[in-house]
Structure 1
Amino acid sequence: MDQDIIGLIPAGGKATRISPLPCSKELFPLGLYPTSDGGLRPKAVATYLLEDMRAGGADKAFIVIRQGKWDIPAYYGDGAMLNMHIGYLLMNVPYGPPYTLDQAYPFVQNNIVVMGFPDILITPRDAFKDIVSELKSTSADVVLGLFPTEFPHKWDPVDLATDGRIVKVEIKPTQTSLKYVWAIAAWSPAFTQFMHEYLEHRRPEFETGNAREIIFSDIMQAAIDNGLHVRGVLFEDGSCLDVGTPNDLQKALQTLYSV
């Protein structure tokens, strides 16, 4: 049976790096899009990610929000504006983005998942198509989209072996010789199950206050350590820009609105 490709977007953050904002950071206007009557309208930043997921084969997506971010479902509705079916889930516990994503477990556990962050802009715009193709052709458990950056210490760079496997993920290192960072992912039901069970196993540590907030790269490294097949697709001429930081937001605005 063919598996659906489902987009999964964590949107439970508080945008502390660029606050205060008059709206959820996922809806920050960045660029313009043409309307059917020939006009132009502001384009919400998360729309880029949804469009990229759609180009990668996902016609369904779940956006996981927290209490108070009701402007996101109010804006995107059922997804018709993007020719997608969009559903919304509420995050349950504030233990980190992986727990936010795990809210979708009952809805995505038997399908291919593509995941990205709504405040990160990537090129090429068809990158999801390539990582899904790699996932299917290699029977990998996870495939990460890798991009060059001048500032790997701001990201989570990866050690990519010559055979395409990822052997290590470094989490915002103060110094590193690694040049490529991951910004998007595609994974199989096997990884969805691994993440769900791993998070359930770790939950008591958080409930007793004995653990720091967990991030997605922690899950990636745990998957590697437990023998899952994690691969990378390198977009040597691509780019990734985190508009959730003031400097990169300014850079994106200058690029998109330059004449």
Structure 2
Amino acid sequence: MWGIVPAAGRGSRIQPLAFSKELLPVGSRTLNDTQRPCAVSEYLLERMIRGGADKICFVIGAGKSDILEYFGGRFGSADLAYVVQPQPAGLCDAVFRARALVAPTDTVAIGLPDTIWFPDDGLAALPDDELSFLLFPVERPEQFDAVILAEDQLHVTEIRVKQPDPGTHWIWGAFKMPGAVLHELHDLWRQRNERDEYFGTLINAYLAAGGNALGIKAGEAYVDVGTLQGYRSAMLMLSETRGEGIDAPDGGMRESARVEVRT
């Protein structure tokens, strides 16, 4: 399974930094009996691996070679690859930069590298053979891509991208699909003159054309670390995860740590 990590954005909401936002230290991990800082994007990579990924592709900007230098060619049990998005042009453009690596028979998982969410094995709840979204309940759904489900509470009928009062508190935090669907979505995106910046609007067009998508309510907590407020909330959440000092990303999730922030 491939994991695709779109990491070409400027990170303007949390600048100035002296490095790519995906390398922002959040919590720590123990390696060879030594604690070291943990880059925020490591949490997503670990979750992808727990969900079945054995190959992960970073999509980076031309000026973000520090990500390559930090991670190198392997993370845990997964091989890493890198492709370049020359200019920040939205999530759709970033994800589709990696399509040449993905065979139709592959499975693909996609997540955002400046987020931390629980449970850390949430991707395993998504099927490999259908387009499916891992959903999280949040207090401010208008700041995210809210997912509307049919009466069966399973099939996606619409994604409302950052709309006021979207009518649901469930948002997507990651998604998975067969490689063949990734290529179908790319073809549709090209037919629409590549005008979709957000995946939500492209998925709506895909559904209108007869496509199918599932929404799986397996998420518990979701934090966007792309702002200073979100960074503080992530540190608090990780601290509460074990009820002691921060030591992540390999812990469970306590009820008291269910927070989410995005501005």
Q: TM-score surpassing 0.5?
A: yes
Deviation, structure 1 residue 106: 1.3
Measure, in 2, the Cα distance between the counterparts of 1:173 and 1:191.
26
Task: Give the gaps of 5 or more residues in structure 2.
Answer: 246-263
CA distance in 2, matches of 1:232, 1:69: 33
How far residue 95 of structure 1 moved from its aligned partner, in angstroms, is 2.8
25 and 145 in structure 1: CA distance in 2 versus 1, 3 angstrom threshold: same
- Residue 175 (str. 1) matches residue 165 (str. 2): yes
| Cα distance per residue 1:130-155 (max 9 Å; x no partner) | 11xx243xxx2x10000100110111
Amino acid paired to 1:107 = L
1:25 corresponds to 2:21: yes
Bigger fraction of residues in helix: 1
Say if 1:99 and 1:199, in contact at 8 Å, map to a contact too: no
What CA deviation, in whole Å up to 9, does each residue of 1:67-106 have, x standing for no partner?
Answer: 1100001010001x42210000001454311111111111
Describe the superposition over 1:148-182 as per-residue Cα deviations: whole angstroms up to 9, x where unpaired. 00110111111112331000110111123211000
Q: In the alignment, which of 63, 68, 89 is matched to residue 83 of structure 2?
A: 89
Give the match for residue 7 of structure 2: 11
Q: Partner amino acid for 1:106?
A: A
Please say if residues 155 and 212 of structure 2, whose CA atoms lie closer than 8 Å, have aligned partners that are also in contact.
Answer: yes
3-state DSSP class of the match of 2:229? Answer: helix
Equivalence for 1:121? 116
Is 2:52 aligned against 1:63? Answer: no
- Judged with a 3 Å threshold, the aligned counterparts in structure 2 of structure 1 residues 93 and 71 are, in CA distance, closer, same or farther, namely closer
Question: 1:214 corresponds to which residue?
Answer: 197
Aligned to 2:180: 190
From 153, 157, 163, give the equivalent of 2:142: 153
Residue matched to 2:34: 39
Give the counterpart letter for 1:229 in structure 2: N
Aligned-partner residue type, residue 8 of structure 1 = I
* Counterpart Cα distance in 1 of 2:230 and 2:87: 29
State the secondary structure of the residue aligned to 1:101: helix
**TM-superposition CA deviations, 1:1-49 (whole Å, max 9, x none):** xxxx11001001000000011110111000100011x110000100000
State whether structure 2 residue 236 is matched by structure 1 residue 242. no
- Contact 2:62–2:86 (CA<8 Å) still a contact in 1? no
Could you tell me the TM-score, scaled by structure 1's length?
0.87
Whichever residue aligns with residue 147 of structure 1, its letter is F
**Aligned residue pair count:** 239
Deviation at 1:225, TM superposition (A): 1.2
User: Helix, strand or coil for the counterpart of 1:157?
Assistant: strand
Poorly superposed stretches of 4+, deviation over 6 Å: none
Give me the TM-score of the superposition, normalised by structure 2. Answer: 0.86
